[in-house]
Amino acid sequence: MHPLSTAMSGLQALKEAEAGCSRCSLYLHATQVVPGEGPADARLMFVGEQPGDAEDMRGLPFVGPAGRLLDRAIADAGLDRIRIFVTNAVKHFKFAQRGKRRLHKRPDAYEIDRCRWWLDQERAIVEPAIVVALGATAARGVLGRSVTISKVRGEILEDNDGGRVLITVHPSYLLRIQGDDEREEAYRSFVQDLRVCAEALERLDRQQPLNGAPDGKR
């Protein structure tokens, strides 16, 4: 079979397996699992935290307000959204019910680590050139350990398996910033982090090293 067909059927099988996930208790209250979405041969994989209310209802990642901001930033960075595989570190919505509202709750380390089982399989199938981790939960899901975002953001790093990873903030963080100037400044920094990916992909295409290292990795 052609490698792309193999990857596509691999993702389909993975989606079906994820639908029955009970690796932690989050499946008990979520509407459905939200698997990753995008081309099986994507060169970029974006990893978010967990589905939000809109994503939980629709079964698709990043289709709510944070997703709209992410789409804008991707375009402003010169990247093509439809060529990116988008997924989450945790695949079920975690929330607290307050009357009719479902308020987002941050996944804990146990839930993130249990869900790495799925994220690792998505990465193994898609084999992206660069994984972009959006925020602390995503960074833990991708690297398997906690990091301080401000210390590591915006650079192409290498994970334990030699994969290239770029860590940046989560778009929801930008949405929460109150001041217009501060929010605009944070948005520009976010786009700049994504531009690092765009430039790195171009260098990889030209078989040029990233950051000057001879083997093309840092």
Name the minimum Å distance from CB 14 to ligand URA: 17
User: Among residues 21 and 210, whose Cβ is nearest to ligand URA?
Assistant: 21
- Binding ligand URA by CB under 6 A: which of 50, 94, 196, 200? 50
Name the segment binding ligand URA (CB under 6 A); options: 54-62, 116-124, 179-187, 206-214: 54-62
Q: Which residues pair with 131 in a beta bridge?
A: 45, 165
Q: Does 193 bind ligand URA (CB under 6 A)?
A: no
Q: Does 38 bind ligand URA (CB under 6 A)?
A: no
Q: Does 64 bind ligand URA (CB under 6 A)?
A: yes
**DSSP collapsed to 3 states, 174-209:** HHHCCCHHHHHHHHHHHHHHHHHHHHHHHHHHCCCC
Strand pairing category for 130-134 and 164-168: parallel
- Binding ligand URA by CB under 6 A: which of 35, 36, 38, 67? 67
End-to-end CA distance of the chain: 34
Site string for ligand URA, 77-96 (x = CB under 6 A): -----------x--------
Q: Does 118 bind ligand URA (CB under 6 A)?
A: no
Q: Does 26 bind ligand URA (CB under 6 A)?
A: no
Q: Does 128 bind ligand URA (CB under 6 A)?
A: no
Closest CA to 92 of 161, 156, 22, 155: 22
Burial class (CB in 10 A: 0-12, 13-18, 19+), 23: middle
Burial class (CB in 10 A: 0-12, 13-18, 19+), 211: exposed
**CB neighbours of residue 135 within 10 Å:** 22
Q: Does 48 bind ligand URA (CB under 6 A)?
A: yes
Q: List residues near ligand URA by CB under 6 A.
A: 48-52, 55, 61-62, 64, 66-67, 88, 172
